Chain A
Amino acid sequence: MPDTLPVPIEILLVEDNPGDARLTREALRDAKVRNNLYVVPDGVEALAFLQRQGKHAAAPKPDLILLDLNLPKKDGREVLEEIKQNDEFRHIPVVILTTSQAEKDIIESYRLRANAFVTKPVDLEQFLKVVRSIEHFWLEIVKLSRI
C-alpha cells in the first residue's frame, strides 16, 4: 500500500449537478487519506482550473480528476481529449463518473484515454459506495504520479 502521504491528494471534480457534487464531497470527507476536493461545474472551467487561468490562478495541479461526461459549455469528452493530448496533464488519472451506461460512451471514453469509466448509481447508498470505492482504489492502493 502507498504510504500515507503527508501532502493531501488534490482532487478535481467536474460536475454540473450540485446534488452529486455535494454527495461526492461527503463521501470523500470520510476518506482515510487526506484530500482536498475542488468542484467546477463545466468543461470550460475545468480547463481554466488546470491551466490556472483567471480566478484559478492559485489552483493546485490535481492528482486525480473525476469527470462527468454531460456538461454545459464544453462536454466531458472534449475535456478528456484535451487533457490526454496535453503533455503537462496527460499523466493525471481521469475517472469518468457519469449517469451514462451506453456502450458507445464507455468505449469512446476508453479510446480517448479515460483511466476508468464508472456509472453513477441513482440510489443514494450505492452512489456513496461507488465514491468510497473510487477513493479506496485511487487514494489508498494506486501509486499516483505527483509532479
Chain B
Amino acid sequence: MNAVAGGVPIEVLLVEDSADDAALTRRALDQGKVRNRVHHVTSGVEALARLRRQGRFADAPPPDLILLDLNLPGMDGRELLRIIKADERLRHIPVVVVTGSEVDADVLSSYQQHANAYVKKPIATKEFLEAVNSIEQFWLQIVRLP
C-alpha cells in the first residue's frame, strides 16, 4: 500500500473541462488520506503539453495518476488516451477515465486503448464525491503506482 501520508505527495493530473466537476474532484481528493496535489488542465492539448513539459510546463512534475474526461474541447480524451498509451515515456502512467459517457462503445474502446479503469461520473453531487473518494481509496491507498 502507498502508506505515505506524510511523504512525497502523489501528483494527480486532472483533465476536465467542467469547472464544477473539477472543483468537486479537487474537494474529494483534498479530503483523501494520502497527500496529493491536483494539477488541473481543461483541454487535451494542454494536458499533452504538460505531460511533455512543453512551454510554461517545463518544470511540471510528471503525474503519478491521470484522471481523464473523454469529452473535451479540441483534442478529446479518446485521442489523448491513444497518444499517452502509445508514448514510451508516458504509457506506464495509470489513466482513469472519468466521464459522463456510459456508451458501450466508449467503455470498450477506452479499455482497448489501455485505459486503466473507466468510471462513469454520477450526476448527483453526493455520488460524484463518493466515486472520487473510491478512486482515491483504491489508486492512492491500495495500488502501487509506478
- Does A pair with B? yes
- Chain B contacts of A106 at CB under 8 A? 144-146
Query: Contact between A119 and B144 (Cβ–Cβ < 8 Å)?
Result: yes
List residues 39-80 of chain B with CB under 8 A from any CB of chain A. none
Q: What is the CA–CA distance of A110 and B119 in the complex, to the nearest angstrom?
A: 19
- Which residues of A sit under 8 angstroms from B127, Cβ to Cβ? 1
A144 to B127, CA, bound (A): 18
Find chain A residues with CB under 8 A from B138 CB: 116, 133-134, 136-137, 141
Number of B residues near A (Cβ < 8 Å) is 32
Task: Establish whether residues B119 and A145, one from each chain, have CB atoms under 8 Å apart when the complex forms.
Answer: no
Whether the pair B143, A118 counts as a contact (CB closer than 8 A) is yes
Q: Which of B117, B131, B135 contacts A93 (CB 8 A)?
A: B117
Nearest-Cβ distance from residue B33 to partner chain A, whole angstroms: 12
Q: Are B108 and A111 touching (Cβ within 8 A)?
A: no
**A130→B144 CA distance, assembly (Å):** 12
Q: Does A19 contact B (CB under 8 A)?
A: no
How distant is the Cα of A12 from the Cα of B116 in the complex, in angstroms? Answer: 18
Bound Cα distance A130, B1 (Å) = 9
User: B107 contacts the other chain (Cβ, under 8 Å)?
Assistant: yes
Q: In chain A between 84 and 106, which residues have their CB closer than 8 angstroms to a CB of chain B? A: 84, 87, 90-93, 101, 106
Distance between B110 CB and nearest chain A CB, rounded to angstroms: 8
Known: A110-B146, A130-B1. A116 touches B94 (CB 8 A): yes
Among A111, A115, A142, contact of B91 (Cβ-Cβ < 8 Å): A111
Complex Cα spacing A119 to B2, Å: 10
- Give the contacts of B65-114 with A (CB-CB under 8 A): 91-94, 102, 104, 107-108, 111-112, 114
Which residues on the B side are within 8 Å of A126 (C-beta)? 1
CB closest residue in chain B, given A91: B111
Chain B nearest Cβ from A85, distance in angstroms: 11
With A and B bound together, what is the CA distance between A147 and B111 in angstroms? 12
CA distance A90 to B85 in the complex (A): 14
- Whether B111 contacts A116 by the Cβ 8 Å rule is no
Chain B contacts to A: CB under 8 angstroms:
1, 91-94, 102, 104, 107-108, 111-112, 114, 116-120, 122, 127, 130-131, 134-135, 137-139, 141-146
